[in-house]
Amino acid sequence: MIIENFELFEIYTANHEYKNIITDKYNRTPHFIGKNNVLDPCLSEFLVQNGLEISYPNNKSFAAIISHDIDYLYQPLWSLKTLLNQQSKSILSRNFKQLFPNFKNLQRKISPLYSIENILRVNNKYNINSTFYFLALNEEDEDFNYSLSEVRSFTERLKKRGDKIGLHGGHLAYNSKEKICLEKEYLNKTLGLNVNSFRNHYMRFDIKSTWDQLIKSGFKIDSTFGYHNIPGFRNGMCHPFIPYSVNNNSFLDIIEIPIMIMDTTLFKHLNLNHDNAFKLVKIIIDKVKKLNGVVTILWHNESFIGKHLELYTRILDYLIEQDCWIAKEDDLLNHYEKNSYFKEMKKILQNSFLLDNSAHI
């Protein structure tokens, strides 16, 4: 069957990624491989032009979902060599008061720079809820920093205040049902949960397999789809959407909440200063608002200090100024389901692209 609007179909499905042979060392597809301008939500605009009408509670014109990946909590322990070096410096500088505190760096403790308390302090002030993604790693796994038993007191508080907890898949989970299921079981049993939301560590994602592996592992929601080094709209969508698999020639039984804005993208990869980062974020927010979409913001726990925290609160202030619904993930998705927005999106796409189970590229 011939697929109409082929260029838009390629963008929506990220068809180029199925054929892509260029990846970075984490097997991530670079943004320049795609045909679309990542700052242009062209597919959401297409849906709106073809009849998609989305409204939000209390006459809000658009929404936002805030999330936090908890990669690190504990500060690195000093080695004996480091301790001896620091003690020598303290003695030579006659800073004898520092001799005893230096020993505390041999003890395992949560870094005040990484503490979840920093997030809660701000979110309480703004009266908002977030989704928190926790790693479920063992000591031998890459980037292990904390065990789930060590964060149980935090997660109990998050549950009580209405925040959502999801699985932050380890480095190799994105491409392995076995890994996903093991980490999911560990998280559920340790924290007394039944998680349905996933995001992979380092934004590792393979369009040929990640969604399929998540579906087989019982996940209903993914929020990995986005670029680690550039903000915007990976497949032209500024709304949560139902992915379409080119391999299966069908829509998939999972909801994707695409990532648009991430702290490390702005500061680490683009190396933007505070003002320019805000200007870029504002451009994205304004485009999403125009299409009644959903802004997605990922802010790591280590970014709740200094200039990074200033930008976070500046973004929240702008969202509030623009009369945005800063929603809980489940509340927003339930709103979409209740109003049949996903069904309407699929209907428009099926009619526009002439999609059915026999559709081939």
What pLDDT score was predicted for residue 92? 72
- The rounded distance, in Å, linking the Cα atoms of 258 and 240 is 7
Whole-number Cα distances in Å, 141 to 73, 231, 299, 333, 349: 16, 29, 23, 33, 41
What pLDDT score was predicted for residue 74? 82
For 21-70, what is each residue's pLDDT tens digit? 899 999 999 988 888 999 999 999 999 999 999 999 999 999 999 999 99
Q: Spell out a b/e string for 174-197, using b for 16 or more CB atoms within 10 Å of the CB, else e.
A: bbbeebbebbbebbeebbebebbb
Positions of the chain with pLDDT under 50: 1-2, 77-79, 82-83, 102-103, 106, 357-361
- The rounded distance, in Å, linking the Cα atoms of 302 and 317 is 20
**H/E segment holding residue 309:** helix 306-321
Within its chain, how far is the Cα of 83 from the centroid? 37
Whole-number Cα distances in Å, 135 to 132, 199, 229, 286, 326: 10, 10, 21, 32, 25
What pLDDT score was predicted for residue 313? 98
- The rounded distance, in Å, linking the Cα atoms of 261 and 160 is 27
Which residues face 262 on adjacent strands?
298
| All structural domains of the chain with their residue ranges | 6-75+111-353, 77-109
Structure tokens at 245: 């698999």
Q: Which CATH superfamily is domain 6-75+111-353 in?
A: Glycoside hydrolase/deacetylase (3.20.20.370)
Residues whose CB falls within 8 Å of the CB of residue 67, separated by 6 or more in sequence, listed in order: 130, 131, 132, 133, 166, 199, 223, 296, 297, 298, 299, 329
What pLDDT score was predicted for residue 108? 64
pTM of the entire predicted model: 0.90
- The rounded distance, in Å, linking the Cα atoms of 118 and 304 is 6
With pLDDT > 70 as the criterion, what percentage of the chain qualifies? Answer: 89
CA atoms within 13 A on the CB side of 13: 29
By DSSP bridging, strand 221-222 and strand 63-70 are unpaired
For 294-307, what is each residue's pLDDT tens digit? 999 999 999 999 99
What pLDDT score was predicted for residue 21? 85
Structure tokens at 329: 């993930």
CB 86, CB 150: distance < 8 Å:
no
Within its chain, how far is the Cα of 314 from the centroid? 19
CB 119, CB 66: distance < 8 Å:
no
What pLDDT score was predicted for residue 180? 98
- The rounded distance, in Å, linking the Cα atoms of 63 and 74 is 33
What pLDDT score was predicted for residue 97? 67
Burial of 216 from C-beta contacts in 10 A (0-12 / 13-18 / 19+)? exposed
CB 218, CB 247: distance < 8 Å:
no
